[in-house]
Amino acid sequence: MDKLPEPEMRFLRDLRSWTNFKGWKKSGGWETLGVAGARKPRGVMLSPEGHIVKLDLTANGLQGEIPLSIGNCKWLQELHLNTNKLSGPIPAQLCGLSKLSVLHLANNKLTGEIPHRLGGLTQLTSLYLGTNQLEGEIPATLGNLAELQELVLHSNRLEGAVPTSLGSCFALQRLVLGSNRLTSVPPTLSALQELQEINLSNMPTMRQEAPQCLGAMRALQKVWLQQSPFHGALPAAVGALPQLTHFGGEWCEFEGAVPKSFKASATIQHANLWRNRLLGRRGQRHAPRLAPLPPASGGGGGDWADQRDEDEQGSGGGGGGGAGGAKESEARAPTEALRTRLHRSPGAKAKLRKANARRSALRALSKERVAAPRPPPGPPPPGAFNGGFLNGRKLPVVRAPSGSASPAAPDWHRPVAAPAPLDNDDNPAFHRLMRLGESMRKLPPQPATQPQSSPEKQRGPDRAQAAMALLRRTSTLDEQPAGPSKLPSLR
């Protein structure tokens, strides 16, 4: 870092002071910036000549604005400041870095418009400005970026039409414009023969027919149009693309029938047409979720699709006797197979498979519990041990050999002897209670005219005292052996 030129060192100091250095998550080497012999700051890559060629501070907690002194880094090739909390506009000084190839400022809080001078960065290959608060229109000067391969502008507040000049970016492979307020897609995009993914989703202002230019992009693999009000017929040329694997078209306004090219495609892995105005079997409106089907055995990939169309015509004409019924039954099998595949995604199939396995395991466990032998009633016979049960499992049976003692049973199965009955004839406490009850019976009843002030007095502490006095007079009986003949009769 001792060889770093002063203009570039000034930019690093400004970056540290402008972006709340105390809140950085990783700041190794930045605290000793400019100190002789200090280590290189984290995220800074230098060229052999001692110039900054790459700066990567992704997800590092940066706050504030991008310093204007960034224009001093004339040798900068890659700038990664994404996933931070940067605010303010994109500095115009950034557009003077002619060697810049990767500009990644996504997932921040940048405001303002996209600078038109970005079109002068002729070596730019990746431009990421998504998930910000940028406004205005997409600059037409971006069409001058002949080396541009990735253009990501989603989740902003961009307005207007997609510029026709983007059709000149022949090296473009990924175009993500969703979640904006764009209004139309130009047909000049059909010249993007290297484009592999296009995202035009979640734009309620996109009120036009489905772009026919998509069918001309032969390298297209992923198309995302969901939640954008594209109307009209679904382009049949899109389903015939040789490398198409994903098509998201749910919550649009497509009309008519699903093209045969979508049904007969052997490359589509996921296609969602939920919530549209497409016509299904017997003229009913439905929203199929298309999934790839292997070619029909014995015929071409589109045989069953032709059978389904004939079935629709036959059912719409009111029936044709026995021949019409046979024809409908022949076309019903592939149609039912298609319907099953349409509404079951690979994730749903895996969940269903796990649920069936769990249900089978529970059913087998319940059968095993029902069929398990129950412990025999009563204690085991002498000389043998029936094994007993522990946690629902039967223990092994042990039989005592002849002439030997029976093996000891485990504690959990050994029968407990019943308690011996109590002998009340030799229990002095029992006789004392019996005499107390008999004494209570012999007390004279209280006169009814005696006033009673409370229920406690009515129950009578005098009766209890009299009973205890009577018991004390007869307590000499406890010293003598109590027998049945000396107990007072209760009758």
All structural domains of the chain, each given as residue ranges with its CATH number in brackets, are: 1-101 (3.80.10.10)
pLDDT beyond 70 at 66: yes
Mean pLDDT of 77-95: 95
**pLDDT band, residue 399 (cuts 50/70/90):** low
**102-106, 159-163, 251-255, 455-459: segment of lowest average pLDDT:** 455-459
According to the model, what pLDDT value does residue 362 have? 81
Mean pLDDT of 76-90: 96
Token pair of 235 as six digits: 């382009």
- pTM, rounded to two decimals: 0.59
Half-sphere exposure of residue 40: CA atoms within 13 angstroms, side-chain side = 14
pLDDT beyond 60 at 407: no
**67-71, 344-348, 435-439, 481-485: segment of lowest average pLDDT:** 481-485
CB 88 within 8 A of CB 63: no
pLDDT beyond 90 at 270: yes
- Segment (H or E) for 54: strand 52-56
Q: What is the pLDDT of residues 191-236, one digit of tens each?
A: 999 999 999 999 999 989 989 999 999 999 999 999 999 999 999 9
Percent of the chain with pLDDT over 90: 48
Mean pLDDT of 245-251: 94
Compute the C-alpha angle 231/169/249, nearest 5°.
25
Would the CA dihedral through 467, 469, 474, 479 be positive or negative? positive
User: DSSP secondary structure string, 266-288?
Assistant: SS-SEEE--SSEEE-GGG-B---
According to the model, what pLDDT value does residue 292 have? 42
